Amino acid sequence: MNKMTFPNACQVMRWHFHPLGFEASMDAPRSMVARLFDRATGETLLAIAGIPCATIMHAADVERIIEAVEAEMETFDLLASPLRSVV
């Protein structure tokens, strides 16, 4: 099983969502806030609080976080945006 620290998991998510900007921080011992933003303008496209996480996560946990963020993007039609089409 692949395990990674929270900072490494954040890096994986930054790579996944590139060219959009991605940042995350733990807002409680077992949850995080994630933010997707336009790198050119700094405009926040999506912010989600309360995503379950840990300081050490399995790769499958990171994949579930990515899927949750993508589901929110779909809800707000961000997957159809010109920035997202390159991802």
Residue range 20-78, pLDDT digits in tens: 999 999 999 999 999 999 999 999 999 999 999 999 999 999 999 999 999 999 998 87
pLDDT for position 56: 97
In single-letter form, the type of residue at position 32 comes to M
- Rounded (to 5) percent helix, strand, coil in the chain: 35, 35, 30
Give every strand in the sheet of 31-37, ordered side by side: 21-28, 31-37, 44-52
Look up the domain containing 18 and give its range: 3-86
pLDDT band at 84 (very low <50, low <70, confident <90, very high): very low
Written as six digits, the tokens of 12 are 């994986």
- Tokens 């779909």 belong to which residue? 74
Structurally, how many domains does the chain consist of? 1
Q: What is the pTM of this model?
A: 0.85
What is the C-alpha separation between 64 and 52, in angstroms, rounded? 10
